[in-house]
Amino acid sequence: MHLQHVHHQVPQSKQRLQQNTEASTNTQEQSSAQDTEDATKSDETTDTEQVNEMPENTRPDTDRAGNSITLPDNIERVISFAPSMTQVIEELGLMDKLVAVDTQSPKYVDGVDELPQFNMMTPDIEALASRLNRT
C-alpha cells in the first residue's frame, strides 16, 4: 500500500513541478520584457538629457589637464594617433587634411603609408608640431 501511495503522488508532483516551471518561465519573460522596456526608456532619457545639457556651438577652452587652449576656427591639418581615428577620418572624406599617422594605421587604411608615421607610445612632439605648423 505504501508503494501505491507514492505512485499516486508522483503524477501530482510532476504536475506541480510543471506548473511551477511554467509560472517561473512566464515571470522571467515578463521581467525580461520589462527590463528591456525600462532600459530603452532609460537610454532615451539619458540621451535627451545629455543633448539638452550641452549648449549649442560650444568649443572646449581647456584641455583634460585644465590648461587653457584656443582651437582654430578652421582645421587644415590633422595627425591621427590611432588606426580607428584614421579610419574615421577616411570615412569622413578628410584624408586631404591628414599630415601624419601612427605606425599602425597603414595596416588598416590604404593611402597613408606615404605619410610620416609616429610611434603613438613615444611621440616626438617637435616633429609633430613641425608637421602641423607647415603652410
5-23: pLDDT as tens digits: 444 445 555 566 666 666 6
Asked whether the predicted pLDDT for residue 131 surpasses 70, the reply is yes
pLDDT for the residue 109: 96
Per residue in 21-59, pLDDT (tens digit) is 666 555 556 666 666 666 555 555 555 455 556 566 688
Residue 79: which of 89, 69, 71 has the closest Cα? Answer: 89
Q: What's the one-letter identity of residue 76? A: E
Q: What is the pTM of this model?
A: 0.51
**In which element (H, E) is residue 102 found?**
strand 98-102
CB 131 within 8 A of CB 79: yes
Contacts of 89 (CB under 8 A, 6+ apart): 78, 80, 95, 97, 98
